């Protein structure tokens, strides 16, 4: 008995020495996995928040909103501080490896989607850090790494077909672009009517949303009209279910944009999305990673896509046109006699948005100059020269982010419909839509 025990001890000691020798060798991915199996997912999420906030010190657009603990914020940068790209990228890679290393039984089943989304969010911040450090990606690579999506490609001939169809709808003489401008100019909201029209539209969108989705009792927003922006509307989520909604008045605003922006920026769009994430995932689940909204990330595809699809959710079918003809057109002092044609034109025109993606792809890939990209959008999106220039400013600033509006909407719509939220089952549509807004989701996670 004693000899056997000694032999076992010697064998165990021998294997222990071999293991120690191996552990002293260069760390591999497996080493990282062994070291992090015991690490809590919450701890990794907290380090992710710190990383995003630190990167956000060097690019003000990275952090769209933050409503987490003050102690997670980094110290103020010293004047003249250089961008620590290698350091931040290495931090992101380390966290990605730690997440991948978590054993299946270390993450509860109800948090598997959370883990997957956090991996993709980390890949996005690593990519953005690399971009800030000078790394160049193609349009499609950037879209995949930042937004977990593969943008479709369209031949310009597809848009020529749409333009031909649009040409047959528009009255008058002159070029298609001239007739489109002349026709749509009849539906511009007078500047002195903007506030009453937008407040009314947001109130209606809010009323319809609150009958289907329960939000915190204190939820609210402020509305501001601003100028000199690259976008038409923006929601600055403040935390605690509060938003600042800004509308850019640099260019004329058409009556259709009142409902569009009311739903997109407010209800059931960005304001509702952020309020639900804060309420359900941050406050109730204590999932700290959702306390920071990293703009250039898969979360934005869901945010923009659901905000655009949310317009149809809140104003389904003919109910939108009916409401606008009965309420918003009179408020704006606009003639309702051509409203039906205006919305037929608008629906067809909406299909041209992917032409903007093609302009962005070719411009960012160096295939078009800025002027050429602007002219392409003037041709295929019928933009005025001023609008085309504004859009190139947006592309310069936000790059492949443009895919989140149209591709995001299509993916969200497909997801909601495939899960039973059809046009004939409105209650189910709202139910699936709310579920999408309240849980970790990315493009690849909802794609059919």
pLDDT in tens, 23-38: 544 445 544 544 443 3
Predicted pLDDT at 39 = 57
Q: What is the DSSP letter of 219?
A: -
CA nearest neighbour of 311 among 279, 349, 264, 355: 264
Which band of pLDDT confidence, cut at 50, 70 and 90, is reported for residue 441?
Answer: very high
CA nearest neighbour of 215 among 438, 65, 432: 438
> Any idea what the Cα angle at residue 185 is, between residues 182 and 187, rounded to 5°?
135
Cα distance between residue 60 and residue 55, in whole Å = 9
DSSP sequence for 398-413 = HGGGGHHHHHHHHHHH
Q: What tokens were used for 155?
A: 């031949």
Predicted pLDDT at 103 = 78
Query: What is the tens place of the pLDDT at every residue in 98-137?
Result: 999 887 777 888 899 999 999 999 999 999 999 999 999 9
Element (H, E) at 348: helix 339-350
CB 120 within 8 A of CB 298: yes
Which band of pLDDT confidence, cut at 50, 70 and 90, is reported for residue 40?
Answer: confident
User: Is the pLDDT score of 56 beyond 60?
Assistant: yes
Please give the average per-residue pLDDT across 43-63, as a whole number.
97
Please give the average per-residue pLDDT across 145-162, as a whole number.
96
Cα distance between residue 112 and residue 107, in whole Å = 6
Please give the average per-residue pLDDT across 147-155, as a whole number.
96
Lowest mean pLDDT among 3-17, 45-59, 159-173: 3-17
CB 273 within 8 A of CB 303: yes
Q: Report how far Cα 51 is from the mean position of its chain's Cα atoms.
A: 19
Element (H, E) at 41: helix 41-56
Predicted pLDDT at 28 = 55
pTM of the model: 0.89
Predicted pLDDT at 230 = 84
Residues of the chain with pLDDT > 70, as a percent, come to: 91
Give the contacts of 40 (CB within 8 A, at least 6 positions apart): none
User: Is the pLDDT score of 207 beyond 70?
Assistant: yes
User: Is the pLDDT score of 20 beyond 90?
Assistant: no
Predicted pLDDT at 388 = 94
CA nearest neighbour of 197 among 11, 323, 40: 323
Predicted pLDDT at 14 = 35
- According to DSSP, the residues that pair with 335 across neighbouring strands are none
User: Is the pLDDT score of 13 beyond 50?
Assistant: no
CA nearest neighbour of 448 among 405, 413, 401: 413
For strand 220-226 and strand 242-248, is the pairing parallel, antiparallel, or unpaired?
parallel
CB atoms within 10 A of CB 3: 7
Query: What is the tens place of the pLDDT at every residue in 234-257?
Result: 999 999 999 999 999 998 999 999
Lowest mean pLDDT among 36-50, 172-186, 236-250, 387-401: 36-50
CA nearest neighbour of 409 among 306, 255, 335, 334: 306
Predicted pLDDT at 25 = 47
CB 110 within 8 A of CB 434: no
Predicted pLDDT at 21 = 46
User: Is the pLDDT score of 82 beyond 60?
Assistant: yes
Strand order, beta sheet including 242-248 = 220-226, 242-248, 233-239
More confident: 231 or 19:
231
Mean confidence (pLDDT) of the chain: 91
């Amino acid at each position: 008995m004693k000899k056997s025990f000694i032999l076992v001890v010697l064998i165990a000691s021998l294997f222990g020495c071999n293991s120690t020798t191996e552990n002293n060798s260069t760390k591999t991915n497996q080493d990282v996995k062994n070291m992090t199996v015991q690490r809590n997912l919450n701890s990794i999420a907290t380090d992710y928040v710190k990383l995003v906030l630190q990167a956000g010190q060097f690019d003000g657009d990275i952090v769209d909103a933050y409503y987490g603990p003050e102690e997670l914020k980094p110290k103020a940068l010293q004047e003249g501080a250089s961008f620590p790209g290698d350091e931040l990228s290495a931090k992101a890679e380390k966290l990605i490896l730690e997440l991948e290393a978590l054993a299946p039984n270390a993450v509860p089943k109800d948090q598997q989607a959370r883990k997957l989304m956090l991996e993709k969010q980390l890949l996005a911040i690593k990519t953005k850090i690399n971009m800030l450090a000078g790394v160049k990606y193609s349009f499609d690579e950037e879209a995949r790494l930042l937004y977990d999506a593969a943008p479709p490609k369209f031949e310009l001939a597809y848009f020529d077909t749409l333009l031909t169809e649009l040409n047959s709808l528009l009255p008058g003489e002159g070029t298609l672009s001239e007739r489109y401008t002349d026709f749509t100019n009849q539906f511009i909201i007078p500047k002195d009517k903007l506030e009453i029209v937008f407040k009314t539209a947001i109130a209606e969108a809010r009323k319809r949303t609150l009958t289907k989705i329960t939000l915190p009792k204190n939820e609210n927003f402020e509305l501001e009209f601003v100028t000199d922006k690259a976008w038409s509307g923006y929601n600055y989520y403040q935390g605690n279910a509060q938003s600042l909604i800004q509308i850019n008045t640099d260019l004329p605003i058409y009556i259709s944009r009142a409902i569009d922006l009311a739903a997109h920026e407010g209800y059931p769009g960005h304001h509702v999305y952020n309020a639900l994430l804060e309420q359900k995932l941050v406050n109730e689940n204590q999932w700290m990673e959702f306390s920071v909204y990293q703009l250039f990330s898969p979360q934005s595809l869901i945010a923009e896509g659901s905000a655009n699809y949310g317009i149809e959710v809140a104003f389904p079918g003919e109910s939108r046109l009916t409401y606008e003809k009965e309420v918003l057109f009179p408020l704006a002092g606009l003639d309702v006699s051509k409203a039906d044609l205006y919305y037929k034109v608008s629906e067809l025109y909406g299909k041209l948005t992917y032409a903007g993606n093609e302009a962005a792809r070719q411009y960012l890939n160096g295939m078009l100059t800025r002027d050429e990209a602007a002219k392409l959008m003037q041709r295929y999106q019928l933009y005025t020269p001023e609008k085309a220039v504004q859009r190139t400013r947006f592309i310069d600033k936000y790059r492949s982010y443009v895919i989140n509006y149209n591709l995001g909407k299509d993916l969200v719509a497909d997801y909601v419909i495939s899960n039973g939220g059809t046009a004939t089952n409105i209650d189910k549509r709202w139910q699936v839509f709310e579920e999408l807004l309240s849980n970790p989701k990315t493009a690849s996670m909802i794609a059919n």
